[in-house]
Amino acid sequence: MLQLEVAGPHAWPYAPQWLDAGTVQPVNGPDWAAPAASTYFDMRKTTIYGGATEVQKNIIAKMILGF
C-alpha cells in the first residue's frame, strides 16, 4: 500500500488515454511503479483465499470431530 501511495498516479493499473488508437504513451516515472498495483492486488487475493482455506479446514474438522 505504501508503494502505491509513493508512486501516485504512475502506479495506476491503466490510464484511459491508452484506449485511444494510435497514441504512443511515454513511460514516465520510476521503473518499480508500473507493477506496484498488480503486486498489491495479488497480495490482497492471497490473503482472501488463505482465509477461505482456513474456513474449509474448520468445517471439515467440525464434521469429523462432531463439534
Cell of 48: 482472501
- Pick the closest to residue 62 from 50, 54, 51 (CA basis): 54
What's residue 16's pLDDT? 66
- For the full predicted model, state whether its pTM sits above 0.85: no
DSSP H stretches of helix in the chain:
2-7, 36-65
Number of independent structural domains in the chain: 1
What's residue 26's pLDDT? 64
List, for residues 18-63, the tens digit of each pLDDT value: 667 676 666 667 777 777 777 787 787 777 777 888 888 899 999 9
What's residue 61's pLDDT? 92
What's residue 2's pLDDT? 74
**Could you list the residue range(s) of the whole structural domain that residue 54 is in?**
2-65
